[in-house]
């Protein structure tokens, strides 16, 4: 196996263009498992850990540009303020060792429906910045996941960064697993409230072939909050609204029965997580307003 080690972004893109079959490796927490189990035997590995451009983040005009190679540990310690939903999800990933190595870029590259970054990225309206020697393009997270463990990258492209609006309101994330740590999600859910735009974002994980939004739930909640004047008053959420939001979130899923859980359990869990995360987020919104 050839091990390619570019020292710059331009060199990495050049190598990927020359050898589109080369498998990128960032933290290696997915790739090394596949190699160890002989699930994959690529002729070439393209090591991205020496590309300085991938290891940086910046925040300008309310938009965080998170380099694909920033570890979960750094995300949690440095970006929990502007990216609370993603930081909550990152805290649930693996163990400290996995969080030290693993990256959001790797989660997107693997595109597992169970990946923990996807629901908060969808809820926040994130956009994936990808590049090749042909140029750079952006793909909304909504369009990035194309099938089970498949994404919208062309063979010569690499993920450069994720562009995520800094939180304009409360964000929450919840994950059900078979134990408390080191666990692949049986189902997960993220919600983001944007009171300034009177908008609601959601993301569902591990309950459909790809991560996806619960669009009907978003529209229902944003519309109801608007009609009832609740964005302004920050009054209590009627129980019926919370229940309907949960039901619509569960209805957006298309889960399967597998070793980790049944489709029925996943749907039930999603309704519960959607109700809980909305309630937590709304309480934060009320508290911020001094209610």
Which residues here bind ligand FAD, judged by CB under 6 A? 23-31, 33, 48, 68, 92-94, 98, 101-103, 105-107, 109-110, 115-116, 158-159, 182
Give the shortest CB-48-to-ligand FAD separation in angstroms.
Answer: 5
CA 160, 253, 34, 154 torsion-angle sign: negative
Give the shortest CB-214-to-ligand FAD separation in angstroms.
Answer: 19
Q: Which is nearer to ligand FAD, 53 or 244 (CB)?
A: 53
- Tell me the angle at which helices 84-91 and 72-79 cross, rounded to the nearest 10 degrees: 140
CA 12, 16, 22, 27 torsion-angle sign: positive
44 Cβ contact list (under 8 Å, min separation 6): 1, 2, 3, 4, 19, 21, 22, 23
The whole-angstrom separation of Cα 185 and Cα 93 is 9
Tokens matching residue 39: 């699930």
Give the shortest CB-154-to-ligand FAD separation in angstroms.
Answer: 11
Q: CA-based angle 224:227:230, to the nearest 5? A: 75
Distances (CA, A) of 290 to 10, 276, 277, 278, 281: 50, 21, 20, 18, 14
Tokens matching residue 279: 């309630």
Give the shortest CB-262-to-ligand FAD separation in angstroms.
Answer: 21
Q: CA-based angle 185:186:189, to the nearest 5? A: 70
Q: Which is nearer to ligand FAD, 35 or 80 (CB)?
A: 35
Give the shortest CB-284-to-ligand FAD separation in angstroms.
Answer: 24
**Which DSSP string do the residues of 103-147 spell out, in sequence order?**
BHHHHHHHT-TT-TTHHHHHHHT-EEEEEETTEEEEEEHHHHEEE
Local structure of 263: helix, strand or coil: helix
Q: Which is nearer to ligand FAD, 129 or 244 (CB)?
A: 129
Give the shortest CB-161-to-ligand FAD separation in angstroms.
Answer: 9
Q: Which is nearer to ligand FAD, 212 or 275 (CB)?
A: 212
Q: Which is nearer to ligand FAD, 13 or 242 (CB)?
A: 13
Q: Which is nearer to ligand FAD, 144 or 220 (CB)?
A: 144
Give the shortest CB-148-to-ligand FAD separation in angstroms.
Answer: 14
Give the shortest CB-102-to-ligand FAD separation in angstroms.
Answer: 4
Q: CA-based angle 100:102:107, to the nearest 5? A: 155
Q: Which is nearer to ligand FAD, 144 or 282 (CB)?
A: 144
Tokens matching residue 215: 């669009």
Q: Which is nearer to ligand FAD, 106 or 261 (CB)?
A: 106
């Amino acid at each position: 196996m050839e091990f390619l080690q570019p020292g710059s972004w331009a060199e990495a893109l050049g190598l990927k263009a020359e050898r589109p079959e080369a498998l990128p490796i960032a933290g290696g927490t997915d790739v090394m498992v596949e190699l160890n189990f002989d699930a994959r035997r690529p002729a070439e590995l393209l090591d991205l850990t020496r590309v300085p451009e991938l290891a940086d983040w910046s925040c300008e005009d309310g938009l965080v540009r998170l380099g694909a190679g920033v570890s979960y540990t750094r995300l949690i310690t440095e970006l929990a303020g502007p990216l609370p939903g993603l930081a909550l999800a990152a805290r649930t990933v693996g163990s400290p060792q996995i969080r030290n190595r693993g990256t959001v870029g790797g989660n997107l590259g693997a595109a597992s429906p169970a990946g923990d970054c996807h629901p908060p990225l969808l809820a926040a309206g994130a956009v994936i910045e990808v590049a090749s020697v042909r140029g750079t393009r952006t793909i909304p997270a909504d369009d990035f996941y194309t099938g089970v463990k498949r994404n919208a990258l062309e063979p010569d492209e690499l993920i450069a960064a994720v562009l995520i609006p800094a939180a304009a309101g409360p964000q929450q994330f919840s994950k059900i697993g078979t134990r408390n740590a080191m666990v692949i999600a049986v189902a997960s859910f993220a919600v983001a409230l944007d009171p300034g735009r009177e908008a609601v974002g959601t993301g569902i994980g591990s309950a459909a072939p790809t991560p996806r939004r619960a669009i009907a739930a978003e529209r229902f909640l944003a519309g109801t909050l608007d009609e009832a004047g609740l964005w302004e008053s920050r009054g209590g959420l009627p129980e019926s609204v919370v229940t309907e939001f949960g039901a619509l979130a569960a209805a957006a899923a298309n889960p399967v029965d597998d070793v980790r859980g049944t489709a029925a359990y996943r749907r039930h869990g999603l309704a519960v997580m959607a109700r809980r995360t909305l309630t937590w987020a709304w309480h934060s919104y009320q508290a911020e307003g001094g209610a």
